[in-house]
A and B are shown apart, each in its own frame.
Chain A
Amino acid sequence: MKMRALKLKRDWIHGWLLLMPALVFLFAFTHIPAITTLINSFFSTPRGRRSAKFIGLENYDRMVNDPVFWKVLWNNLWFAIGTIPASVGLAIVMALWVNEKLMGRGFVRMAYFTPTVLPLIAVANIWLFFFTPGFGLFDQITGFLFGWPASNYLGNPDTALNAIIVVTVWKEAGFFMIFYLAALQAIPVSLKEAAQIEGAGRWTIFWRITFPLLMPTTLFVCVNAVINSFRLVDHIFILTDGGPDNASALLLFYIYEVAFRFWETAYGATLTVALLALLSLLAIGQFFFFDRKVHYK
């Protein structure tokens, strides 16, 4: 009895000692900054000799009345709607193809996955040339095939965000494909064979067997895709720099602009609080969705 108590005590100490270094860094760069962000959002931005002073909800008042904030929030929504279903859908199709005995499967798989390895900055550079008016490959192809005139996809407020979405889907689909590929390989072949004996077509097999069994993967991928839709902003710096007129700015990009171009760190903190609140809401929502819809074995 005494021995056991002693072992428990030792376990405590060892456990805490092992955890300590990681926790120090984790708290220093994730948890404490999250809390100070919240605190700073109630203060003014310190400038020169003037230190920050408590201003209550003034920053929030400014945020609610900031048309750019609503604009980038709206953009982010469109960005999410534009990228998530398209990249997840493509990922499923890609995984189904690559999972079959296909001619040249190795090349096809490599082609789908390669964008994942490239830095988003490099991707943006490559695509920038695609979108160049008149000269770029996009215009050359549409001009050659349909005789369309030159168009400035990135410089036009109506198309800039869509151009960003296209680039993001190209980059992400292959990454998500990997998870589906792993899930597909875990589905027992006997299920499919049984369905075939029953006379089910490929379409039925997919919707009745494969797709439901992929559900946990779909949710995992969707969680990632949602987080990414708030996180991926690197290519915006190269492609449009948020413009024209904030037409392609996303929330995180706007936070960067406010905090590091205009140096309004307090307002930047307020915007960060909005982003954190949004992420937590989504996480809670997804958690409940997970619990209801997914049946694990």
Chain B
Amino acid sequence: MTRTSETFDRVLNTGAAWALALIWVLPLAYAVWTAFHPAAYEARFELFAPLTLENFSKAWDAAPFARYFLNTFILVTMILAGQFFLCTLAAFAFARFEFPGRNILFALVLLQLLVMPDILMVENYKTMRLLNLVDTIPAIALPYIASGFGIFLLRQTFMTIPKELDEAARIEGASFLGVLWKVYIPLAKPTYLAYGLVSVSHHWNNFLWPLIVTNSVETRPVTVGLSIFSAIDSGIEWSVINAATLMTSGPLLIAFLLFQRQFVQSFMRAGIK
């Protein structure tokens, strides 16, 4: 290949990559534009249009977003704590213990990657009604805390940890739970971080199951709150809806922009088995 055609190639590629990137940010950029400008500028683009935070305060006042945020925060924390606890124990069992039925049980765990709890919403709703948990935050969380994905991911990590470390700790008199706590969990920290980020962003964004199982302000997470807020056909201005939209995705979005590298690496780590 000649030199000029190579530069030409490079320019073409850069141009195309940028064009696609601009198309990709356009929807978000547009939402930001309308959210920070008065309603009159929803479809008029002037460089010096006045900036305002009024849309945000209107949205904040129009619906109990503070409560929704609190609910989502409790929900995400509950799920993450439950997942870390249950998945760690299960993964440790699969990685380092020999017992009858291990392979079958592991296959049953992996089955959950295909048959997610969302798909079984009809039966899960009945279960929640039976347990008298409908319209509570635990009801949203419970189906997700034994995560097949989490067990799988942690098992893979635990299996890479040299057995010698395990045996050394046992010789020093540590119990099997002590070994788990002192050897396995510290060495699997990057996996926990990766899985944690994936889990938090997934459950922050989850919608269908919370929609079904909640029906009051005290339990609704932000996604359901947002859908109710924007579904009211009354004349809520677009700029206000967009402000609410940005607000609900805001914490994750800001966290993502600040920790972009960790996010991307976490998703990568979680994806490669």
Interface residues of A (CB under 8 A from B): 8, 11-12, 14-16, 18-19, 21-26, 28-34, 36-37, 40, 90, 93-94, 97-98, 100, 102-104, 106-123, 125-130, 135, 137, 140, 170, 174-175, 178-179, 181-183, 201-202, 220, 227, 230-231, 233-234, 237-238, 252, 255-256, 259-260, 265, 268-269, 272, 275-276, 279-280, 283
Asked if B24 is an interface residue, CB under 8 A from chain A, the answer is yes
Query: How many angstroms between the C-alpha atoms of A203 and B263 in the bound complex?
Result: 31
Which residues on B sit within 8 Å (CB–CB) of A260? 121, 125, 212
Q: Name the contact of B256 in the complex, choosing from A32, A94, A100, A117 (C-beta under 8 A).
A: A117
Which residues on A sit within 8 Å (CB–CB) of B127? 28-29, 33
Provided the pairs A30-B115, A111-B21, A260-B212 are in contact, do residues A16 and B230 lie with their beta carbons within 8 angstroms?
A: no
Asked if B169 is an interface residue, CB under 8 A from chain A, the answer is no
A129 touching B90, Cβ below 8 Å: no
A179 touching B205, Cβ below 8 Å: no
Q: Name the contact of B99 in the complex, choosing from A15, A115, A174 (C-beta under 8 A).
A: A15
One of B46-54, B106-114, B160-168 at the interface: B106-114
Most buried by A among B121, B125, B145, B231: B121
Contacts of B76-127 to chain A: CB distance below 8 A: 85-87, 89-90, 92-94, 97-100, 102, 105, 108-109, 111-127
Contact with A along B231-273 (1 / 0, CB 8 A): 1000000100110011011001100110010011001100111
A108 touching B100, Cβ below 8 Å: no
Contact with A along B112-152 (1 / 0, CB 8 A): 11111111111111110000000000000011011010010
Q: Name the contact of B89 in the complex, choosing from A21, A26, A37 (C-beta under 8 A).
A: A21
Provided the pairs A103-B14, A174-B24 are in contact, do residues A29 and B124 lie with their beta carbons within 8 angstroms?
A: yes
Query: How many angstroms between the C-alpha atoms of A202 and B13 in the bound complex?
Result: 12
Which residues on B sit within 8 Å (CB–CB) of A272? 119-120, 122-123
Extra pairs beyond A33-B120, A117-B252, A126-B245 (11, CB < 8 Å): A14-B176, A110-B257, A113-B263, A113-B264, A117-B263, A119-B205, A119-B207, A179-B268, A179-B271, A227-B113, A252-B119
Asked if B66 is an interface residue, CB under 8 A from chain A, the answer is no
Which residues on B sit within 8 Å (CB–CB) of A110? 257, 260
**SS class, residues of chain B in contact with chain A:** helix
Provided the pairs A16-B99, A234-B208 are in contact, do residues A22 and B230 lie with their beta carbons within 8 angstroms?
A: no
Q: Name the contact of A119 in the complex, choosing from B118, B212, B223 (C-beta under 8 A).
A: B223
Closest 6 CB pairs of A and B: A15-B97, A25-B146, A33-B123, A15-B99, A119-B205, A18-B93
Q: Name the contact of B112 in the complex, choosing from A30, A179, A234, A255 (C-beta under 8 A).
A: A30
B13 touching A31, Cβ below 8 Å: no
Asked if B1 is an interface residue, CB under 8 A from chain A, the answer is yes
Q: Which residue on B lies nearest to A235, using beta carbons? A: B207
A25 touching B142, Cβ below 8 Å: yes
Q: Name the contact of A118 in the complex, choosing from B125, B249, B257 (C-beta under 8 A).
A: B249
Provided the pairs A111-B24, A126-B27, A227-B114 are in contact, do residues A265 and B146 lie with their beta carbons within 8 angstroms?
A: no
Query: How many angstroms between the C-alpha atoms of A137 and B127 in the bound complex?
Result: 45
